[in-house]
Amino acid sequence: MEDNDKRPRQSVILYLIIAIALLFALNSYIHPAGYQETQSVSYSQFLNMVDDNQVSKAQIDTSNNEITFVGKNNITYQATAFPDDSTLVQRLQDHNVDMSASIPNENSNLMTYMLLSYIIPLALIFFFGWLLNRRLRKSMGDTMDLSGSGGFGGGNLSRSSAREVKGQEVHTTFKDVAGQDEAKESLQEIVDFLRHPQKYAAIGARCPRGALLVGPPGTGKTLLARAVAGEAGVTFFQISGSEFVEMFVGRGAARVRDLFKEAKKKAPCIVFIDEIDAIGKRRDSSINSNDEREQTLNQLLSEMDGFDNQKGIVVLAATNRPEILDPALLRPGRFDRRIHVELPDLAGRKAILKLHANDVKMEPGIDLGVIARSTPGASGADLANIINEAALRAVRIGRSRVSQDDIQESVDVVIAGEKRKSTVLSEHEKQVVSYHEVGHAIVGAVQRKDAPVEKITIVPRTSGALGFTMQVDQGEHYLMTRKEMEEQIAVLCGGRAAEELIFHDMTNGASNDIEKATQIARAMVTQYGMTNDLGMVQLGRQTNRYLGGGEELVCSEGTQEKVDELVQKIVEQGHQSALKTLQENRFKLHEIARYLQKKETITGKEFMAMFTRDDGFAPKSVAAANPQS
Ligand code: ADP
Ligand code: MG
Ligand code: ZN
C-alpha cells in the first residue's frame, strides 16, 4: 500500500499522546498532591514556626543535617539544622510536632519518586501496548498480507484480515471435489475467464463478477471455491462474513475497502467471502437493524460495482441461507450467478467416500456402495467424517487397515451416536425395545419393499436412542408418491403399534418416530397439496431450507385447525395400518423380537430369513416380492 510507511508513524504519535495522558492520570492517582517543591527556610525561621505552633510534622535527616517539615498550612519546608542542637527534640515535643527520627536520603527519595511515578507506569503502558498490538495482529490472521510492521496500537485495525494464498500455493483442484458435477461445470467458465481474461475482453464479453454458492452445510462450498483458485492458478483471498464485523464498530466497511484494494493489485484473483449471510442480510427498516452491518454491506455493494473487470477479479461467496440475502446483492453485475451445491446423491456419496478412502489404508474388497446406500441425506463432510471415524476405530482396535465393519460401525455412530456403555437396560426394557424395533422392521418389510431392512439393534446410543432399525433405499428417489409417504408414516408408527399390541401399554420411546411421522404428514397437507379436503393450496412455507429449518403456516386460523385435524387423520391412518400389519404377523413378531433380545443386533439378512421362513406364518406377499431372500 502506498501509505504503508505513513501509518506506523501516525500511530506512534497517537500512542505517545495517549501514554502521556495516561501518565498524568496515573501520577495524580499515586501522589494526590503531586511532588511539591519544598520551600527553603532558615533554621531560626524553622524554630520560630515551631514556637508559634505552626509545624505539624518534621523529619530530621541526621546524616545531612536536613530538616523537612510540614507546616499547618500544608506547605513543605526545608531547613538545614545546626549540628548537635540537643534542645531541638525537646522543643519539638513541647509543641506537639510529629517527628520522625530519620528521613530517607533525598537522592533515593527522588529516585523512588521517579521510579514510581514515571518509569514503572511508562514501562507498564508500553508493555500493555505491545501486548494489545500483538493480540490485534494475531486475531487478524497470521498470513495476512500486511507488511505494515511496527506501529503500536490501532494502526492496522482497518486491514482486511483476509487470508491470502498465492496462486501456486492453492493445491486444491476440482479433482478433490467428488460429485457436484453441475457446480463444477458452472465454475469451469470462471476458471477459464481467470486463465484467459483477454480472450473474453477481445470479444467484449463481460464475465460474471460474482457467483454465490448456496447449499446445506458440509456440501463442499468452501472446498469448491478453493478449487476454482487452484484450477485457475490465481491468488485466493478468503475471509468469513463474520470477520468483517467482529471486533470494532466502524471497521467493517474499511475492511471491505482494503480487501478490494489489495485484490485489485493482485488481479487476476478470487475473493472468497464465506458465510456471506453474516453481512449480506436483507436491509430493513426494523428498529433493531444493525448499522454496522449495513455499512459493511453498502461498502461491499459499491466495491463490487467499482472494479473494472477486465483485470479479472471474481468474487465468490457461500451461504446456506440464500433467502435472507439482500436483493441488491443478487442483481446482475454482483452475485448474479447462483450455483447450487446440494447434498450428494447416491453416485455422489459413493464418489466422495472413494475419494476420502484413498487417504486411509483399507482392507481389499471393501464395498463402499453399501455405505453410500445406507447414508441418504449425508453431506460430504459427514462422509469424510465416516471414513475418518472408521480409521480411528481401526486404530483403537489395533488393526492396521480399515475393515468393512469399521465403516459400518462409524455409519451408526454418525447416524445415532456412539454406543453408550453406561446405559444398561433391564431385561424387561430390552424386551420392549426389541418388540418396538421389530415392529418397525416388519411394517417396513411388508409395506416398503424397495427399502429392505439393513440392520436392527437394541444397543443404546449416546444420542438417546435405545435402538434403531435401519432401512436402506435401494435406489435414489427424486419423486415420492402419496402412497409412499403414507407407507413411511406407517413404518414410523410400527414401533408404538408393536408396544400396544403386545404389552397393551405405551412408552415414551416413540417420541422421535412421532415427530418424524407428523412432519411428513404436515408437509403432505400444507406443502404438497395431498389431501382431498384442502386440495392443492399452499398452506405452509418452508423456512431455512438448507439448515433443516421449520415451516411457517400461511393460512387463516380456521384453516390451521383443519390442517391439524388432517395431519392427525393421516398419522392415525398410518398407525392403524401398522397395527393391522403387525396383527397379521404377530407370530413372526414374537419370534424375531425374542431373537433380537438375545442377540442385541441382527442383520437385515437374518431378519428377512426369519421373517420369510415358510413355517405357515410367513407373509405371502413378502415371500413373493423377495424371492432372493
Ligand atoms: P461447506 O463450506 O459447504 O460447509 P466444506 O467445503 O467446508 O463445506 O466441506 C467440509 C469438508 O467436507 C471438506 O473439507 C471435505 O473434506 C468434505 N467434503 C464436502 N464435500 C465434498 C465433496 N464433494 N468431495 C469431497 N469432499 C467433500
Ligand atoms: Mg464453508
Ligand atoms: Zn421407533
Kindly indicate the confidence band of residue 26, based on its pLDDT and cuts at 50, 70 and 90: low
Q: What residues flank ion ligand 3 with Cβ within 5 A?
A: 495, 513
Q: Would you say residue 163 has pLDDT above 70?
A: yes
The pLDDT value recorded for residue 261 is 87
CA of 431 to the centre of ligand 3 (A): 14
| In a domain? residue 82 | yes
Q: Would you say residue 16 has pLDDT above 90?
A: no
Most informative mutation of 181, 187, 219, 349 for ligand 1 (most atoms within 8 A of CB): 219
| Burial of 508 (C-beta count, 10 Å sphere; 0-12/13-18/19+) | exposed
Return the ligand number nearest the Cα of 238.
2
Pair 131, 260 in one domain: no
The pLDDT value recorded for residue 148 is 34
Q: Say if ligand 1 is within 6 A of residue 380 CB.
A: yes
The pLDDT value recorded for residue 620 is 62
Q: What residues flank ion ligand 2 with Cβ within 5 A?
A: 222
The model's pLDDT over 453-497, given as tens digits with 9 standing for 90+, comes to 888 999 888 877 888 888 887 777 788 899 999 999 999 999 999
Return the ligand number nearest the Cα of 516.
3
Alpha carbons 167 and 145: distance in angstroms, whole number: 14
Residue nearest to atom 1 of ligand 1 (CA): 218
The pLDDT value recorded for residue 615 is 80
Residue nearest to atom 9 of ligand 1 (CA): 220
> Which tops the pLDDT comparison, 130 or 393?
393
Sheet holding 235-240, edge to edge: 163-165, 235-240, 269-274, 313-319, 210-214, 337-340
Residue nearest to atom 6 of ligand 1 (CA): 220
Q: How many whole angstroms from its chain centre is CA 579?
A: 44
CA of 178 to the centre of ligand 1 (A): 9
Kindly indicate the confidence band of residue 450, based on its pLDDT and cuts at 50, 70 and 90: confident
Name residues whose C-beta falls within 8 Å of residue 220's C-beta, 6 or more positions apart in sequence.
177, 180, 341, 380, 381
> Which tops the pLDDT comparison, 242 or 175?
175
CA of 223 to the centre of ligand 2 (A): 7
Strand 76-80 with 39-40, pairing? parallel
Pair 231, 356 in one domain: no
The model's pLDDT over 54-94, given as tens digits with 9 standing for 90+, comes to 888 888 777 777 788 888 877 888 888 776 777 777 877 88
Residue nearest to atom 11 of ligand 1 (CA): 381
Pair 481, 521 in one domain: yes
| In a domain? residue 467 | yes
| In a domain? residue 202 | yes
Pair 446, 543 in one domain: yes
**What is the mean pLDDT of the segment spanning 309-323?**
84
Q: For residue 374, give the DSSP letter.
A: T
Q: Would you say residue 19 has pLDDT above 80?
A: no
Q: Say if ligand 1 is within 6 A of residue 352 CB.
A: yes
Return the ligand number nearest the Cα of 456.
3
Instruction: Look at residues 312, 340, 368 and tell me which one is the last residue of a structural domain.
Output: 340
Q: Say if ligand 1 is within 6 A of residue 353 CB.
A: no
| In a domain? residue 314 | yes
For the ranges 103-112, 243-252, 349-358, 447-456, the one whose mean pLDDT is highest: 349-358
Structural domain boundaries enclosing 250? 163-340
**What mean pLDDT value characterizes the chain?**
81
CA of 490 to the centre of ligand 3 (A): 11
Helices 404-416/380-397 angle, 10° precision: 120
Q: Counting runs of H as helices and runs of E as strands, what totals does the chain give?
A: 24, 16
Q: What is the CATH number of the domain that holds 305?
A: 3.40.50.300
Q: Say if ligand 1 is within 6 A of residue 318 CB.
A: yes
Name residues whose C-beta falls within 8 Å of residue 526's C-beta, 6 or more positions apart in sequence.
538, 539, 540, 551, 553, 555, 563
Residue in this structure with the C-alpha cell 540537643, named with its chain if needed: 86
Q: Are 114 and 35 in contact (CB under 8 A)?
A: no
Q: Would you say residue 7 has pLDDT above 50?
A: no
Kindly indicate the confidence band of residue 145, based on its pLDDT and cuts at 50, 70 and 90: very low
Q: How many whole angstroms from its chain centre is CA 444?
A: 37
CA quadruple 403, 406, 411, 412: dihedral sign: positive
Q: Relative to the CA of 351, which ligand 1 atom is closest?
A: 24
Kindly indicate the confidence band of residue 286, based on its pLDDT and cuts at 50, 70 and 90: low
> Which tops the pLDDT comparison, 79 or 367?
367
Instruction: Look at residues 340, 364, 399 and tell me which one is the last residue of a structural domain.
Output: 340
Alpha carbons 212 and 221: distance in angstroms, whole number: 10
CA of 614 to the centre of ligand 1 (A): 48
CA of 553 to the centre of ligand 3 (A): 28
Q: Say if ligand 1 is within 6 A of residue 217 CB.
A: yes
The pLDDT value recorded for residue 507 is 93
Pair 459, 601 in one domain: yes
**What is the mean pLDDT of the segment spanning 27-35?**
53
Phi-psi region of 218 (alpha: psi -120 to 50; beta: other; left: phi over 0): left
Q: Relative to the CA of 274, which ligand 1 atom is closest?
A: 2
H/E stretch holding 237? strand 235-240
| In a domain? residue 619 | no
Considering only CA atoms, which of 256, 237, 104 is closest in space to residue 166?
237
Query: Rounded to two decimals, what is the model's pTM?
Result: 0.68
Q: Say if ligand 1 is within 6 A of residue 22 CB.
A: no
Q: Relative to the CA of 348, which ligand 1 atom is closest?
A: 23
Return the ligand number nearest the Cα of 351.
1
Q: For residue 116, give the DSSP letter.
A: I
Q: Say if ligand 1 is within 6 A of residue 381 CB.
A: yes
The pLDDT value recorded for residue 5 is 40
3-class state of residue 436 by DSSP: helix
Pair 439, 567 in one domain: yes
| Burial of 544 (C-beta count, 10 Å sphere; 0-12/13-18/19+) | middle
User: Which cell goes with 404?
Assistant: 468393512
| In a domain? residue 422 | no
User: Which cell goes with 395?
Assistant: 486404530
Pair 540, 432 in one domain: yes
H/E stretch holding 271? strand 269-274
Catalytic residues: 437
Give the helix, strand, coil percentages of the chain, each rounded to 5: 55, 15, 35
Q: Are 217 and 258 in contact (CB under 8 A)?
A: no
Kindly indicate the confidence band of residue 628, based on its pLDDT and cuts at 50, 70 and 90: very low
- Count how many domains the chain has: 5
Q: Relative to the CA of 224, which ligand 1 atom is closest?
A: 6
> Which tops the pLDDT comparison, 357 or 374?
357
Q: Would you say residue 306 has pLDDT above 80?
A: no
The model's pLDDT over 396-430, given as tens digits with 9 standing for 90+, comes to 999 999 999 999 989 888 877 777 777 788 899 99
Alpha carbons 196 and 318: distance in angstroms, whole number: 25
> Which tops the pLDDT comparison, 384 or 65?
384
| In a domain? residue 519 | yes
Peptide bond into 268 cis (omega under 30): yes
Q: Say if ligand 1 is within 6 A of residue 177 CB.
A: yes
**What is the mean pLDDT of the segment spanning 31-40?**
60
Q: Are 498 and 456 in contact (CB under 8 A)?
A: no
Kindly indicate the confidence band of residue 149, based on its pLDDT and cuts at 50, 70 and 90: very low
Alpha carbons 346 and 270: distance in angstroms, whole number: 32
The model's pLDDT over 601-627, given as tens digits with 9 standing for 90+, comes to 999 999 999 999 888 777 765 544 443
CA of 66 to the centre of ligand 1 (A): 82
Q: Are 21 and 27 in contact (CB under 8 A)?
A: no
The pLDDT value recorded for residue 85 is 73
Pair 169, 214 in one domain: yes
Return the ligand number nearest the Cα of 357.
1
Instruction: Look at residues 315, 340, 365 and tell me which one is the last residue of a structural domain.
Output: 340
3-class state of residue 602 by DSSP: strand
Q: What is the CATH number of the domain that holds 57?
A: 3.30.720.210
Pair 354, 460 in one domain: no
| In a domain? residue 50 | yes
Q: Say if ligand 1 is within 6 A of residue 281 CB.
A: no
Percent of the chain with pLDDT over 70: 82
Residues linked to residue 270 through DSSP beta bridges, in sequence order? 236, 314
Pair 122, 241 in one domain: no
Considering only CA atoms, which of 287, 319, 281 is closest in space to residue 301?
281
Q: Say if ligand 1 is within 6 A of residue 383 CB.
A: no
CA of 466 to the centre of ligand 3 (A): 9
Alpha carbons 187 and 192: distance in angstroms, whole number: 9
Percent of the chain with pLDDT over 90: 33
Length reported for the chain: 629
Q: What is the CATH number of the domain that holds 382?
A: 1.10.8.60
**What is the mean pLDDT of the segment spanning 532-546?**
85
Cα distances (angstroms) measured from residue 325 to each of 217, 278, 281, 545, 608? 17, 9, 5, 14, 50
CA of 382 to the centre of ligand 1 (A): 9
Pair 309, 183 in one domain: yes
Q: For residue 154, give the DSSP letter.
A: G
Pair 299, 444 in one domain: no
Residues linked to residue 59 through DSSP beta bridges, in sequence order? 68, 100
Q: Say if ligand 1 is within 6 A of residue 227 CB.
A: no
Q: Say if ligand 1 is within 6 A of residue 293 CB.
A: no
**Per residue in 452-469, is it b (16+ CB within 10 Å) or e — as a string?**
bbbbbbbbbbeeebbbbb
The pLDDT value recorded for residue 136 is 57
> Which tops the pLDDT comparison, 125 or 287?
125
Q: Say if ligand 1 is within 6 A of residue 129 CB.
A: no
In the chain, the amino acid numbered 475 is: G
